[in-house]
Amino acid sequence: MASLTPKERKEEVTGSAMSEGVMNGSIVLGTAMGGLFVAMRNPNFRKFTNWQSRTAIVIMPALFTFALTSELKMDHRMHEVAEETEFAMKSVEWADQEMRRRQRAMGKEAQDRRAMYRQAVLGSGITVVDTPELQSHHKAANFIQTNPFKCIGAVAVPGVAYVFRAQKKQEHLSLQMKLLHTRVLGQATVLITLLGIMGLKEMMDRRGKYVTEADVEDRVRQMESTRDSMMERLEYEANQRNMRSRLQR
């Protein structure tokens, strides 16, 4: 069964308890210091007390108040966290039971759920191809959509290097002119590559990644498996609660 006081909320509870204890302890400390200041005007008080007892008069009430209020606050927050967690678990369980009841009344619970899962997958930004496997151009388009800058570098850098190599063969040109031509033609190469790849990526972003029918079915089965695991956990937790309730009776 899932804990009603999860560990991830530990810092929240302890921080709240610490703040409560510090605030109340500070109030009592200030009050005690004010009382000690007034009492020090009495000669009899100064006569029958020393600095250790005076320090204790100021410190001990504040420490006691800090410990008591922080402990009470922690106990209170732990009960609140437990109630919130239990409410969330019961809400999820009720919602799923209500959905199952409605779908059973229609006589097609599993079919409707699977159709909804499939619709969700198809609406997640993908394009289903007609072939059993992705063709080479489909895989290339998917790679470009995922790694546009890698593709730009893979095309632009060799392109600029090829331009420079071609310019080196122009013996009638000076080195300065070769570099100038390389820069101009290289910039054109990089710009054309950038426009082409980013245009393809924009088109892929709108159409969606290419997938096969088998990929869609795998994602639907994964969603069904996730739901089955969640339902098993909820059923186990419900059984544990019922068992504890019977034992308490």
- Write out pLDDT tens, residues 198-226: 888 888 777 777 888 887 777 777 777 77
- Claim to verify: residue 7 and residue 95 sit in the same structural domain: yes
Residues whose CB falls within 8 Å of the CB of residue 100, separated by 6 or more in sequence, listed in order: 109
Pseudo-torsion of CA 202, 207, 211, 213, nearest 10°? 180
C-alpha of 58 from chain center: 47
- Claim to verify: residue 101 and residue 152 sit in the same structural domain: no
Position 96 confidence tier, pLDDT thresholds 50, 70, 90: confident
Domains identified in the chain, total number: 2
Is residue 72 situated within a structural domain? yes
What does the pLDDT average to over 107-130?
71
Distances (CA, A) of 172 to 166, 168, 177, 223: 13, 10, 10, 68
pLDDT at 5: 55
Is residue 116 situated within a structural domain? no
pLDDT at 188: 84
- Claim to verify: residue 92 and residue 181 sit in the same structural domain: no
Our CA angle for 236, 77, 30, nearest 5°, is 165
What does the pLDDT average to over 26-33?
88
Length of the chain: 249
pLDDT at 64: 87
What does the pLDDT average to over 53-59?
84
Is the pLDDT at 109 greater than 70? The verdict is no
Is the pLDDT at 62 greater than 80? The verdict is yes
pLDDT at 1: 45
Containing domain of residue 13, as a range?
Answer: 1-107
The pTM score is: 0.42
Is the pLDDT at 49 greater than 60? The verdict is yes
- Claim to verify: residue 48 and residue 97 sit in the same structural domain: yes
Q: Which of 142, 246, 154 is nearest to 200 (CA)?
A: 142
- Claim to verify: residue 2 and residue 102 sit in the same structural domain: yes
Is the pLDDT at 65 greater than 70? The verdict is yes
Is residue 52 situated within a structural domain? yes
